[in-house]
């Protein structure tokens, strides 16, 4: 029994035994002195005002100090009594609840841990689903929502198979058979994204079994692997191209020496030939051999990465890029105009410029299989007052691009060339142009009779020491 100030005015022997106190000594105590500082805060701020207002409170948890310094967890039922002579008094019934409190603590701890795990699942970017043994979706996390664009309300209750394209029904049902035997399974399948596009999915499923070996539920972790698959394909293609490049370059290197020998031999041969007809055959052989030497030299240069800006003659760079396609241009009756003879010497990364031009010329060629005209033009321009630069234009009269194609032309993995294209050419081109501080713009028309594409690039001149730009 406490008076209105919380002093203990009476207590039974059991209470004293609980606290390890001599019976009479409780009478000099204030109840709050039996509490820890934290408990006291709770007692003063919440317990007392609530008790005074409500008149009674039950099953409130406190820790009381034992005489030996330990803490005794108790539950307290309290009632305010107005019948006595004093203002009011408070009656407390105190129960020791050590075991129960331990159990509650354990429950609370387990619940917190569970909530943390649940939070991990909820926020995972992978779809993590709980399913019935029959494959009906029971839970739907944020990752699932992101991948499939479906709300939990729409997804829960649907079968797992509805997430995959019908072509996979069979592999899914054989996976479910394995689950029934308690095996974890993994399948790769295609599904539809939030926007309705086909996506590559990896689905791994884990069974939840109960005795006697009955499948009661399973979980599925679904990951969107579309980008990874695309990257893998592109990497593979790139690696193929790169190894072809290395091969070409080493062949070029290897044939350089015999080429030189043959060139010298032909020269010697020509000196010894008196007869006019033979002489002209040798001259022809020399000319063709020059072409081979040129191609070999270009292949080598193309493969070599330039690490410094150098001053290049655009006319000859453009010429050597076009030369690689010369035979194909002739076979497809494509007229080529290299209009860059008036361009000033230009400072840039030569290898990269070569690659840019090569990509653009190669695209132009692909669009003019039935003949046409290709113009490669380099001109000095003023970018804005006080800054001069170079404009490089590659224009063709090919099939052109429609609006959708044009919109996506710089996106990686976007290709109109089917199996032959990586979809990386224009993406890399744009990257290289930007690396050289340039801009690239494409205009295209696919109307029959007026079709064609014009790619315009603007590069600023690099400021040079002592020279105005």
Partner 1 sequence: MDALRRNNVKVVGSGEQLIMFAHGYGCDQNMWRPVLPSFTDKYTAILFDYVGSGLSDSSAFDQTRYSTLRGYAWDVLEILAALKVERPINFVGHSVSSMIGALASIKEPGKFETLTMIGPSPHYINQGDYFGGFERSDIDSLLDSLESNHVAWSAAMAPVIMGNSDRPELAQELEASFCRMDPFLAHHFARVTFLSDNRDDLSRVDTRTLILQCQSDAIAGLRVGHYVHKLLKNSELVIMDAKGHCPHMSEPAAVVREMRRFLQ
Among 22, 24, 53, 450, binds partner 1 (CB under 8 A): 53
Pick the closer one to partner 1 by CB: 3 or 313: 3
DSSP annotation of 47 reads: I
DSSP per position, 71-89 = EEEEEEEEEEE-SSSSS-E
C-alpha span between 252 and 292 (Å, rounded): 10
SS3 state at 45: helix
CB of residue 139 vs partner 1: minimum separation in angstroms? 23
Pick the closer one to partner 1 by CB: 73 or 143: 73
- Token pair, residue 137, equals 């979706």
Vertex 171 angle, CA 166 and 173, to 5°: 90
Question: Is residue 41 part of the contact set for partner 1 (CB under 8 A)?
Answer: yes
Question: Is residue 101 part of the contact set for partner 1 (CB under 8 A)?
Answer: yes
Among 44, 239, 260, 402, binds partner 1 (CB under 8 A): 44
Pick the closer one to partner 1 by CB: 99 or 307: 99
**Residues of this chain, 5-34, that bind partner 1 according to CB under 8 A:** 5-6, 32
CB of residue 90 vs partner 1: minimum separation in angstroms? 11
Question: Is residue 232 part of the contact set for partner 1 (CB under 8 A)?
Answer: no
Strand order in the sheet with 198-210: 127-132, 214-224, 198-210, 185-192
Question: Is residue 46 part of the contact set for partner 1 (CB under 8 A)?
Answer: yes
Question: Is residue 466 part of the contact set for partner 1 (CB under 8 A)?
Answer: no
Q: How many residues can be counted in the chain?
A: 469
Residues 193-212 as x/- pattern, contact with partner 1 by CB under 8 A: --------------------
Pick the closer one to partner 1 by CB: 104 or 181: 104
Q: Which residues contact 220 (CB under 8 A, 6 or more apart)?
A: 127, 128, 129, 131, 160, 203, 204, 205, 206
Q: Which residues contact 379 (CB under 8 A, 6 or more apart)?
A: 340, 342, 343, 390, 391, 393
**Long-range CB pairs of 81-89, under 8 A, 24+ apart, other chains included:** 86/3, 86/4, 87/4, 88/4, 89/1, 89/2, 89/3, 89/4, 89/9
Question: Is residue 4 part of the contact set for partner 1 (CB under 8 A)?
Answer: yes
Pick the closer one to partner 1 by CB: 45 or 341: 45
- Token pair, residue 62, equals 């406190």
CB of residue 51 vs partner 1: minimum separation in angstroms? 9
Question: Is residue 39 part of the contact set for partner 1 (CB under 8 A)?
Answer: yes
Among 55, 84, 134, 245, binds partner 1 (CB under 8 A): 55
Q: For binding to partner 1 (CB under 8 A), which residues are involved? A: 4-6, 32, 36-42, 44-50, 52-55, 57-63, 73, 101, 104, 108
């Amino acid at each position: 029994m406490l008076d209105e100030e919380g002093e203990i005015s009476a207590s039974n022997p059991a209470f004293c035994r609980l606290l390890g106190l001599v019976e009479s000594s409780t009478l000099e105590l204030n109840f709050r002195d039996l509490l820890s500082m934290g408990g006291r805060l709770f007692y003063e701020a919440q317990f007392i005002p609530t008790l005074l207002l409500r008149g009674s409170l039950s099953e409130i948890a406190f820790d009381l100090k034992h005489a030996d310094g330990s803490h005794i967890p108790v539950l307290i039922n309290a009632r305010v009594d107005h019948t006595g002579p004093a203002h009011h008094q408070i009656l407390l019934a105190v129960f020791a609840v050590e075991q129960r409190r331990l159990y509650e603590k354990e429950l609370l701890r387990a619940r917190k841990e569970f909530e943390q795990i649940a939070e991990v699942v909820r926020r995972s970017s992978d779809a993590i689903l709980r399913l019935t043994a029959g494959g009906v979706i029971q839970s739907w996390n944020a990752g699932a929502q992101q991948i499939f664009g479906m709300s939990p309300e729409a997804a829960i209750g649907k079968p797992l198979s509805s997430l995959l394209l019908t072509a996979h029904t069979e592999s899914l049902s054989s996976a479910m058979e394995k689950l029934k035997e308690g095996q974890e399974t993994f399948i790769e399948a295609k599904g539809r994204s939030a926007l309705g596009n086909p996506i590559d999915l990896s689905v791994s499923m884990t069974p939840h079994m109960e005795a006697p070996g009955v499948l009661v539920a399973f979980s599925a972790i679904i990951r969107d692997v579309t980008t990874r698959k695309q990257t893998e394909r592109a990497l593979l293609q790139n690696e193929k191209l790169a190894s072809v490049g290395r091969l070409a370059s080493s062949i070029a290197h290897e044939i350089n020496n015999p080429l030189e020998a043959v060139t010298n031999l032909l020269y010697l041969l020509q000196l010894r030939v008196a007869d006019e007809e033979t002489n002209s055959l040798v001259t022809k052989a020399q000319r063709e051999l020059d072409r081979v030497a040129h191609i070999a030299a270009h292949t080598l240069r193309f493969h070599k990465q330039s690490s410094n800006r150098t001053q290049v003659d655009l006319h000859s760079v453009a010429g050597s890029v076009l030369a690689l396609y010369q035979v194909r241009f002739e076979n497809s009756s494509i007229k080529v105009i290299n209009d860059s003879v008036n361009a000033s010497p230009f400072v840039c990364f030569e290898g990269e410029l070569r690659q840019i031009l090569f990509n653009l010329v190669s695209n132009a060629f692909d669009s003019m299989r039935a003949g046409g005209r290709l113009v490669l033009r380099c001109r000095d321009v003023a970018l804005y007052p006080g800054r001069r630069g170079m404009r490089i234009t590659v224009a063709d009269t090919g099939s052109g691009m429609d609006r959708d194609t044009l919109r996506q032309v710089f996106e990686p993995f976007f290709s109109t060339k089917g199996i032959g294209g990586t979809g990386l050419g224009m993406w890399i081109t744009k990257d290289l142009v930007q690396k050289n501080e340039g801009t690239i713009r494409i205009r295209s028309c696919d109307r029959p009779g007026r079709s064609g594409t014009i790619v315009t690039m603007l590069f600023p001149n690099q400021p040079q020491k002592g020279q105005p730009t």
